[in-house]
A and B are shown apart, each in its own frame.
Chain A
Amino acid sequence: MGEIRNEGLELSRREFLAGAGGLAFWAGFGANGFQLISEAQATTQAKVLNPWVRVAPDGGVIILSAGAEMGQGSMTSLAAIVAEEMDADWSKVVIEFAPAEASVYGYVDGDTRSMTIAGSRAVMRYYADLRIAGAQVRKVLVASAAEKWGVEPSSLRTEPGAVIDPATGRRLAYGEIAAFAKPPVRLPGVDKAELKKRSEFRIIGKSVPRRDIPLKVNGTARYAIDVHLPGMVYASTRHSPVHGGAPESWNDATVRGLPGVLGVIRLADGVAVVADRFENALAARKALAVKWKPDAPAAGFDSEKTLSDDYVRVHADPAAKTRTLDAKGDADRAFAAATKTHRAEFRSDYGYHAQMEPLNAVARFNPSFDQVEVWDGSQSPDRCRAGVAKALGFTLAQVTIHQCYMGGGFGRRTLGDYAAEAARIAREVRKPVKLIWTREEDIAHGMFRPQSFQCLEAAQDASGKVVGWRHCVVGDGGVLLHTGIKIPYYGVPNQHLELRGVSHGIRVKHWRAVGHVFNVFAIESFVDQMATAQGMDPVEFRFRHMSISPRARVLFEKVVQMSDWKAPRPEGRALGISLSERSGSLGAGVAEVSLDRASGRIRVHKVWLAVDGGLVVQPAAAKANIESGIVYGLSSVLYERVTVKEGVVMQSNFHDYHVMRMSDMPEEMHVEFVERDAPPSGLGEIGNPWVAAAVANAFHRLSGKRLQHLPFTPERVRAVLDA
């Protein structure tokens, strides 16, 4: 059976160098993106590190994967794409993490190359190039066999792991070919027409088991927090409780006098303690009494007051700085000429990633302290590498990143900020260091999905058609605030989308579709509100008055059928419906909800989601990922909120940052893909953005009231019911 090797690069490089022969294919950087090159070509490129694909004489195939693995399955999916086109025997494939070298292994992202695995786009970004790469390998294997047999390559075919000569029935296994084949000086090019047809796929679209799963049921999957090095010591940090603050002084002598303490180190925005044992580092952290400089950017910030008062003022202020995100037609004229207009306001609190593995990293220098190795579970090993280099004043060549599994990412793990800390600390104490943030630190020094205020307005003409649309979002977070604000699936001819940015000094970050969470909540609640104002079924309203795209219509029709939308529900239950786009995918979902009026508790019983993700490379893993998104969405919608007072985060652990538990789960979740002949689009974040509006819309059917502030905590629900 194949496996994922989790020992990092050292092992694989040793094995490659020691291996007897075999066919190796390197990744090269071409003008158009990722491509494979031959060994001869690779030797002319300075940054080539490991072969991307290697076929060993024993038939084993090693494929590198740039799919940082945080549970979404990309590590397996990316290798599966290569294996498909090379017609590898999947059971013989071993997957390894690609080195953190974006100039070789990255996908093209505008003018640069990146290995960042975010926005659920790993498969989407790499799909086309990896197919070509796999086909190149297959072509070399076929040509080698043809040469050996003295026949035309076009007369041969492949089956998993072997080249077949149909004329004679003879066959050569890939390993046998690898033993004799001379790798070509230049790899053959591959025309798109030479790629497999969809009907010929053996792996893509067929769901192979994820390779990381066996390691995750026996404790052997290695996360950065599990790395154990000889002579390693332990660090923990206390960052400024007010975001952006800097330490002035602390009880240094006291802390240094504690058992096992090896160092106390000043960071730009905190203090690190280092000890021989982690328990001693924790004790030292606890004893640390820091006086912070008073001028932190977030000093005095009150999130609730800002959200309830200041954002409204900013929205109403004609002199406020605004940024037009998108404009179509003439929205002002559409509103002036409207037969009917609608307006609604929405709010959303800060959200925390709450990935199960608190942030951590391990760093080790060489004896001359001019090379560092860092172990990090990173959504962006190349950015981590750059961040570590910058923190140390190193060049990239002085930094090696060992990619590890991530105990959750959700957008938090793209920066390597904590990895840079670990490296700095290791240099100070001259020893290998494992840095672990406590859960309390992970929250207090979190980077959050920003809070936001939304105002939506719509104009209908005499026929009821929605012809004007305004959406203004107010908050601190730039692009994080306006992902998901566009509505390409509704053909509203006159639109004005606007951002009013403010600044609080609170750290904010991508967070599983981030802006989609509150923008889609606002948009899809608002559409529902317009429908009910006219006494129309919300699906019918979208079809008749929202100029809905054919693609979105198909999804609504699908989810209507899946949920039996018009059928009566049990007493006390109601359905809500909603739609979301994310990373090229589109999903329409329905939630069945009940309400305990006394407690204000909302319960979601059943969920249906129809998804158009183009070609789905690994349907089972994608479905699991979408289910995960639904649960993540429900959790954020029903429970999760970060609040800040006097610049300090008020939540500290899972007792006051409540996330979904098993008893909170819907009894049923149904996810179905709608087939469409299109390249893959992102699926890891299509599961959560639609949830809020679907729940709120169902709540309206139950209560006649609108929920307009995320999350829908019992207190808020009671207040809405009592209003």
Chain B
Amino acid sequence: MLTFSLNGRQVSVQAEPKTPLLWILREHLNLSGTKYGCGAGLCGACTVHLNGAAVRSCQVEAAQLDGARVVTIEGLSADSSHPLQKAWVAEQVPQCGYCQSGQIMKAAELLAANPKPTRAQIVAHMDGNICRCGTYHRIATAIERASREG
């Protein structure tokens, strides 16, 4: 049994040590906002925060979780009120939407460390997250809006 903090609450899960956090979230805990895209750390759809840092949850094993603090898209805000979520709606960013949880969690890491990023810093930070609908320009614009409007 491993216990960790998930979106501010303690949770306990029975999982093999090598089970990826992604499947613990999605299938053990039925918290499905975090998406499976590649299973190999290549696309960023499964991005969550682990002890404050954006990580690919498909690459985090259960053994690393005991006592850890995990935040997913469901925990970013209680009511879609995070500046990034508001900006995402204002800029009508998502299309199919499947990658957007990961995009937002990756962007949240950036703004937490650097509230006023330049466009170049945004691109460098977000470059690992694939959006197959090609909403990248709107993502960047939304990050700038969130940075501006807080």
Chain A contact residues, CB within 8 Å of chain B: 70-73, 209-210, 212-223, 225-226, 228, 234, 259, 277-279, 354-358, 405-410, 436, 438-439, 620-621, 624-625, 627-628, 630-632, 635, 653-655, 659-663, 665, 669
Partner of A225, one of B36, B88, B128, B138: B36
Most buried by B among A209, A408, A630: A408
Contact partner of A223 (CB less than 8 A), chosen from B18, B43, B98, B137, is B98
* CB pair A356 B32 closer than 8 Å: no
Q: Is the interface of A mostly helix, strand, loop or mixed?
A: loop
A624 contacts B20, CB within 8 Å? no
Q: Please, which residue of chain B has its CB at the minimum distance from the CB of A687?
A: B134
A267 vs chain B, min Cβ distance (A): 21
Shortest A662–chain B CB gap in Å is 4
Chain A nearest CB, measured from B14 CB (Å): 10
B23 in contact with A631 (CB, 8 Å): no
On chain A, the residues within 8 Å of B31 by CB distance are 219
Min Cβ gap A412→B in Å is: 11
A217, B42: Cβ atoms closer than 8 Å: no
Contact present for A627 and B134 (CB under 8 Å): yes
Can you list 8 A-B contacts with CB-CB less than 8 angstroms, sorted by A residue number? A212-B94, A213-B94, A214-B89, A217-B93, A218-B80, A277-B28, A355-B98, A407-B96
Using A213-B94, A628-B135 as known contacts, say yes or no to A234 and B27 having CB atoms under 8 A apart: yes
Asked whether B130 lies within 8 Å of A654 as measured between CB atoms, the reply is yes
A625 to B80, CA, bound (A): 24
> Which residues of A are found within 8 Å of B42, using beta-carbon distances?
653-655
Residue B39 CB within 8 A of the other chain: yes
Q: Are B130 and A659 in contact (CB under 8 A)?
A: yes
A476 to chain B, nearest CB (A): 25
A residues less than 8 Å from B80 (CB atoms) = 214, 217-218
Distance between B10 CB and nearest chain A CB, rounded to angstroms? 20
Give the chain A neighbours of B30 by CB distance below 8 A: 228
A210, A278, A409: the one within 8 Å of B23 (CB): A278
B33 touches A (CB below 8 Å): yes
**Are the C-beta atoms of A663 and B134 separated by less than 8 Å?**
no
Q: Are A635 and B134 in contact (CB under 8 A)?
A: yes
Least CB distance from B119 to A in Å reads: 9
Tell me if B95 and A72 are in contact (CB < 8 A): yes
The residue in B42, B97, B129, B133 that gathers the most chain A C-beta atoms within 10 A of its C-beta is B97
Query: Which residues of chain A are within 8 angstroms of B133 by Cβ–Cβ distance?
Result: 71, 408, 628, 631-632
B57 contacts the other chain (CB 8 A): no
The reply to whether A357 and B35 form a contact with Cβ atoms under 8 Å apart is yes
Given A356-B45, A438-B39, A624-B138; A213-B92 close (CB under 8 Å): yes
Contact indicator A655/B37 (Cβ below 8 Å): no
For the complex formed, measure the closest distance between the CB of A248 and the CB atoms of chain B, giving whole angstroms: 28
